[in-house]
Structure 1
Amino acid sequence: MTENFSNKNPNELFEIVEKLGEGSYGSVHQAVTKTGQIVAIKKVPIEEDIDSIIKEISIMKQCDHQRLVKYYDSYFLDNELWIVMEYCGGGSVADILEFCEVTFSEKQLASIVKAILEGLVYFHSQKKIHRDIKAGNVLLTDTGEAKLCDFGVSGQLSDNMAKRKTVIGTPYWMAPEIIQEVGYDYKVDIWSLGITIIELAEGQPPLSDTHPLRAIFSIPNNPSPTFEYPEKWSKNCIDFLSKCLQKDPNKRWGAKRLLKHPFIKRAKSTKITLTRLIEQCKIAKQEQNKWGKKSSSSTSGSSYSTDSTSGSETSSVSTESSSESSASTANSVVGAESKSGSGSGSGSGSGSGSGSDSEGSTGGGFSTTVIHDMDSIKNNNQEEDLGASFLDQIKTQKNIQTIDEEQQKTNYENLEPRQLEGIIKHITANWEKDKKEINERYEKQLAPIKKILQKKKKKKKNKK
């Protein structure tokens, strides 16, 4: 286990600048290195589910791709595990849905989906399955780059294991074959991508008004979902969605093939399509924090939660076989087994990419519930009682918190000059970029107005 962690003292390497969020699994912080690099650090008490944390770290160490939140190192300090990750200051895509109260246009949708697919092509090439694709697990950098986070529930396919049977993920995004326990492979991520497309287009995944447990029973039996208002979307977009949401995984397209679909081939970069929304989201978060309103998925400039499998108003559900489970006996429902995850804002999960878990569109962080015998649940007439236990677990989770401005000033005063210069450089670069983009945008808006004005003046002058 120790090979996963550095034996250095992280306090000698990093200065904590700001707490980005806190949940039942620990806390996520913005920090700066001695050279001025900004990172996200997730602090997790080691008495928590260390096995799933080590699993996440192991997967992050094995992966290196521009569409995945980058992992730097891990440290033990005073009974806490510090996980250091790339800082993604733009928060999660789910934050935009929530704080800006908008859904995405088709061009924006295509750019986000293309970025997710690029990450999945790499992830699947490493024989890994993400198993929790959703808007809350897509983080954004300050410049608009999109990155996948939250590898706490990812699975590994070895050469001699063509399919897995562990049921895990967030209910509304789960593929039918996961719930049916018939074995599954990489195609489950494609189904989740299809559900995410609907989430981005309409603000919520299908069945979001249904209890999570009831959704689990509905997904395998219902027809494949599609857009509520298909007339709003192009034929290419609708066709692409249908390729993702084939109930038969053999008919469902893979990530590589989907990248060649006409809907994706014309997609622009998220750096072009999302930059303005990222800034609007930051302002909305600041306003919400300023007036003391509760943020349901995050709190500070970057969005972070620390319960890796959080989603919208749902618990993530994992059904494991007895050989894979380390919890109690079969036929039991074990609540509040948090899985570590990434966050937003960067971290890993959002916030910096791995710092927190997914940020849900409506709720804070929720724990993974492990169901050891799916059949006992399916045949149980006490479905609603089980649902109530889910809700009870959710209600006991800690609210995400932030530190006040005075505390933030104190943190800055504890930094070395070079570290402060690094932060100033980072903020200034974003500011200059924003000014340029704003000027270009206003010039573009003003150009036709100025042209009309000149014509009118010229016409008036000629009349005289």
Structure 2
Amino acid sequence: MAEWKKLRVLGEGSYGTVYLVLLRSIEEQKPKISLLALKTSSSYSMLREKKVFELLRGCEGIVQCYYYKCIVERGYLSYNLFMEYAPHGSLGNLIKTKLLSDKEVIVYTQMLLKGLSCMHEKGIVHCDLKPDNILLFPSWDDRTKYQLKISDFGLSKTSEEANADLGEIKFRGTPYYMSPESVRGFKETPLDIWSLGCIVIEMSTGLQQWWNIQTSDQLLCKLAFFNEAPKIPDELSYDCKDFLKKCFINDPQQRWTAKMLLDHPFIQKEYPTSLPTYNPSN
């Protein structure tokens, strides 16, 4: 590591502040200047997030963390994560500015499934997957303008931590993207799949699922006591609606995995493989 300079604030949250920074370093005896995103916080939870980033190093569809630095700033310990900078903002901002085409929704969903598949294979549950935590990078795929990468692992859990607070009924992430089992304390990989289904609806319609729910308590009741799923819009294609049904299966043990969903016809339209023919009764 070398010197860095904070240029501006990119975002703020309960788990820290993210800055755009200019990093000056020396590599192979040559000076190098990079634009990176710096997440800084005095919270000890940043050490856990650092561990998660280390486990996810090299994963496709995941924002990468390049450096970690702990410093004393104004008399307090400051934990700093230096990550890839996303020059095009977040998926949340994109959804607010334009209605995505059907092809874009498929391509972006496939990118997210790639990231989730790698994450889940390594025993990581994101626990707060939503459009604002998905960042946009220049695309290598000529089918779309952006490459999507999952970010912000402040609430993520490893398999050992997943069900540490069972029993109390409450939201353990952003309410509109939480699954019925998660509000009862079960935070395993099926939660991220439910959240993905909510994101697909939002990408397809421009509207949040549960948009007609007035209070978070009302939503909590629907999830915890009635096991309700978001309404799947009628105007979506047959394949998209079937894909969403797999994401919203009430029993988390029966809910499809990211790897299974990559083989669904909704995704196979743009990314065909030589896998066996899909049976919708499965």
Give TM-score, length-normalised by structure 2: 0.79
- The number of residue pairs the alignment matches comes to 247
1:200 aligns with 2:203: yes
Check conservation: 2:180, 2:227, Cα contact below 8 A. Answer: no
2:107 equivalent among 100, 105, 111: 111
Give 2:173's aligned residue.
169
For 1:241 and 1:233, the matched residues in 2 are separated by 10
5 Å matches for 1:65-464?
A: 65-75=59-69, 76-78=71-73, 79=76, 80-98=78-96, 100=97, 102-143=98-139, 144-158=146-160, 165-166=165-166, 168-181=172-185, 183-208=186-211, 209-220=213-224, 221=226, 223-228=228-233, 230=234, 232-267=235-270
Say if 1:119 and 1:24 are closer, same or farther in 2 by CA, change over 3 A: closer
For 2:20 and 2:72, the matched residues in 1 are separated by 17
1:28 aligns with 2:18: yes
**Residues 2-38 of structure 1: CA deviation (Å, up to 9, x unaligned):** xxxxxx6xxx422333333445655322222320222
Offset at residue 204 of structure 1 (A):
3.2
For 2:51 and 2:12, the matched residues in 1 are separated by 23
Give 1:441's aligned residue.
none
Give the SS at the match of 2:193: helix
For 1:196 and 1:184, the matched residues in 2 are separated by 18
For 2:165 and 2:181, the matched residues in 1 are separated by 9
For 1:165 and 1:107, the matched residues in 2 are separated by 40
For 1:180 and 1:25, the matched residues in 2 are separated by 23
Structure 1: which 4+ aligned runs deviate by more than 4 Å?
22-26, 161-167
Offset at residue 162 of structure 1 (A):
8.6
Say if 1:30 and 1:200 are closer, same or farther in 2 by CA, change over 3 A: same
Offset at residue 43 of structure 1 (A):
2.8
Give 1:405's aligned residue.
none
Aligned-residue RMSD, C-alpha = 2.3
Identity %: 30
Check conservation: 1:171, 1:213, Cα contact below 8 A. Answer: no
For 2:105 and 2:198, the matched residues in 1 are separated by 12
Greater Rg, structure 1 or structure 2?
1
Check conservation: 1:131, 1:189, Cα contact below 8 A. Answer: yes
Say if 1:247 and 1:163 are closer, same or farther in 2 by CA, change over 3 A: same
1:51 equivalent among 10, 19, 44: 44
Give 2:6's aligned residue.
16
Give the SS at the match of 1:37: strand
Work out which structure has the larger RCO, using CA pairs closer than 8 Å and 6 or more positions apart in sequence.
Answer: 1
**Residues 121-173 of structure 1: CA deviation (Å, up to 9, x unaligned):** 11111111111111111111134211001111111114xx8966556211111
Give 1:344's aligned residue.
none
Tell me the amino acid that sits aligned with residue 226 of structure 1. Answer: K
Give the SS at the match of 2:181: helix
For 1:185 and 1:14, the matched residues in 2 are separated by 37
Q: Which has the higher helix share?
A: 1
Give the SS at the match of 1:145: strand
Offset at residue 71 of structure 1 (A):
0.6
Give the SS at the match of 2:155: coil
For 1:164 and 1:108, the matched residues in 2 are separated by 37
Q: Which has the higher strand share?
A: 2
For 1:53 and 1:213, the matched residues in 2 are separated by 30
For 1:226 and 1:164, the matched residues in 2 are separated by 30
Offset at residue 202 of structure 1 (A):
2.5
Q: 5+ unaligned residues in a row in structure 2: which ranges?
A: 25-31, 140-145, 272-282
Check conservation: 1:190, 1:244, Cα contact below 8 A. Answer: yes
Tell me the amino acid that sits aligned with residue 61 of structure 2. Answer: R
Offset at residue 188 of structure 1 (A):
1.2
Check conservation: 2:127, 2:173, Cα contact below 8 A. Answer: yes
Check conservation: 1:198, 1:204, Cα contact below 8 A. Answer: yes
For 1:253 and 1:211, the matched residues in 2 are separated by 29
Offset at residue 118 of structure 1 (A):
0.5
Tell me the amino acid that sits aligned with residue 217 of structure 1. Answer: C
Offset at residue 219 of structure 1 (A):
1.9
Check conservation: 1:157, 1:164, Cα contact below 8 A. Answer: no
For 1:253 and 1:224, the matched residues in 2 are separated by 15
Tell me the amino acid that sits aligned with residue 111 of structure 2. Answer: A
For 1:258 and 1:55, the matched residues in 2 are separated by 29
Give the SS at the match of 1:27: strand
For 1:185 and 1:21, the matched residues in 2 are separated by 27
